[in-house]
Amino acid sequence: MTDLADLSIAEAGAGLRRGDFSSVELTDAALTRAGVTESHLHAYLTLDQHGARAAATAADQALAAGEDHGPLHGIPLAVKDNMVTRGMETTAGSKILSGYVPPYNATVVDRLSAKRAVILGKTNLDEFAMGSSTENSAYGPTRNPWDTDRVPGGSSGGSAAAVSVGSALGALGSDTGGSIRQPAAMCGLVGVKPTYGVVSRYGLIAFASSLDQIGPFARSVGDAASLLEAVAGYDPRDATSYRGDTPEISTLLDSGVAGMRIGVLAELSGDGIDPQIQDACRRMYDALADAGAELKEVSLPATEYALSAYYLIAPAEASANLARFDGVRYGLRVDGETTEEMMAASRAEGFGPEVARRILLGTYALSAGYYDAFYGQAQKVRTLLRNEFAATYEEVDVIVSPTSPTTAFAIGEKTADPLSMYFADVCTIASNLAGDPSGSVPVGLDAEGLPIGFQIMAPALHEAQLFRLAAEVERLARFDARPALATSEVKPA
């Protein structure tokens, strides 16, 4: 019999409604899986066993009483630890927030609770979501369930590892430059960054406000759609929240790709991309053409500057966003002779080296005399990139590329060289700068048995097209491999 922790959200939902098992049993299965895998992976920073069981019990009672809150009702999920949870420690992976217990819930957390989802706990991340490997967490790295000597990607590595190994059936992550899609690719999952503004950022601890977006991790395209549908929609508490009708998400899952115009991004097809990843993507392009899609090569020359622009804009915004962590009102305080010394000491002690690096980078980029050359110029690249995307979407419905230039790399491999780590985001960053939706779907394994991700980009608010193609890629790839660690038979390390 299949372990309940290995069910998809859709399968689990059907089983709950058939009465095959309860939400409490489902939740216990995920917690049991966590119990044996956490010592190998460190996917979670906080596991709230008590709260999760209480929520599962309430979900079971509601369902028994005929109250059905939809696909997430009774489903155990994980939330990245940069989304605030009332009464549950929230650290953003930083020492500066060690022990911080928020007095309010992020909008997404409230929405999951309103749908009777069960929140298991908070997952590990690169400190303040700054990183591509989850090695920058102040609480130690998360490991990849497919190979525990490797990183799960980042910054949402904890969410990716948990869903991959079965210690959650789905999870929320956040994506500023690829922090959902890249770990999804490295852990063999579906991960989606929606259109900027579709999911409320209220309660998401900001890294780079104009780029941050919350999105789902799941083991199937349908599950990812269910998760996104549960949290999407206008929120009056986020002024950048999209005010129009929430875009359709799952309406075209079964439509196939006949006649769909797919642009293959030239800039991400060659140099710098692992040949095995190139091959896997090419095989998928052929399969899609066979399925009736029209494929053509498209070019976005500005993507060449996207990485540079991103590493000016994101740190600049971060330098202000992280200014509030000063030891005055909450979090770590290190005493000093004067208020200024106290603030400086608290920040020096509380922030890790990568966060400090980005604050310095961003502060410099915004400084008088440098603003035009750095931040101003980066904003121009952003505009240029948006224009190129807009022009390209006149010709194609979606754009595809690899999600990551490499499969999961070894722990410690890139930590000494920040620039090589920054390059891990090269495929994903353009969508954040443009504000467009983008997702990753697993399409196979490399020679070492590590997952390969296929990226789909769509125009703003065209999530339905993204999911339409994602569903076809899922059908064609028939990716059903699971990491060896994904079993409750494993012994804790």
Identify whether 155 is preceded by a cis peptide bond (ω within 30 of 0): yes
Distance (Å, rounded) from C-alpha 98 to C-alpha 399? 41
> Which of 80, 95, 115, 414 does the annotation list as catalytic?
80
> Which of 179, 250, 401, 440 does the annotation list as catalytic?
179
CB closer to other proteins, 208 vs 262: 208
CB closer to other proteins, 147 vs 326: 326
CB closer to other proteins, 5 vs 204: 204
- Respond yes or no: is residue 404 known to be catalytic: no
Query: In the complex, which residues of this chain contact other proteins (CB under 8 A)?
Result: 83-84, 90, 92, 97, 100, 102-104, 106, 201-206, 208-210, 236-240, 316-317, 319-320, 323-326, 328-330, 339-340, 343, 363, 366-368, 371, 375
List residues bridging with 213 in a β-sheet. Answer: 175
Distance (Å, rounded) from C-alpha 123 to C-alpha 155? 10
CB closer to other proteins, 92 vs 172: 92
The sheet that has 261-265: what strands, in order across it? 44-47, 118-123, 76-80, 170-175, 213-218, 190-193, 438-445, 451-457, 398-402, 261-265, 294-298
> Which of 23, 132, 133, 155 does the annotation list as catalytic?
155
CB closer to other proteins, 237 vs 296: 237
Buried b (16+ CB within 10 A) or exposed e, 82-121: bbbbeebbbbbbbbbbeebebeebbbbbbbbbebbbbbbb
Q: Is the dihedral of CA 11, 14, 16, 21 positive or negative?
A: negative
Please say whether the beta carbons of 165 and 468 come within 8 A. Answer: no
CA distances from 62 to 17, 25, 69, 212 (A): 12, 15, 9, 34
Q: Whole-number minimum distance, CB 123 to other proteins, in Å? A: 16
Q: Whole-number minimum distance, CB 236 to other proteins, in Å? A: 7
Q: Whole-number minimum distance, CB 208 to other proteins, in Å? A: 8
Q: Whole-number minimum distance, CB 386 to other proteins, in Å? A: 15
- Respond yes or no: is residue 401 known to be catalytic: no
Distance (Å, rounded) from C-alpha 124 to C-alpha 211? 20
Q: Whole-number minimum distance, CB 366 to other proteins, in Å? A: 4
Nearest to 322 by CA among 84, 162, 97, 22: 97
CB closer to other proteins, 69 vs 357: 357
- Respond yes or no: is residue 155 known to be catalytic: yes
Q: Whole-number minimum distance, CB 328 to other proteins, in Å? A: 5
Residues 6+ away with beta carbon under 8 Å from 237? 107, 200, 202
Catalytic residues: 80, 155, 179
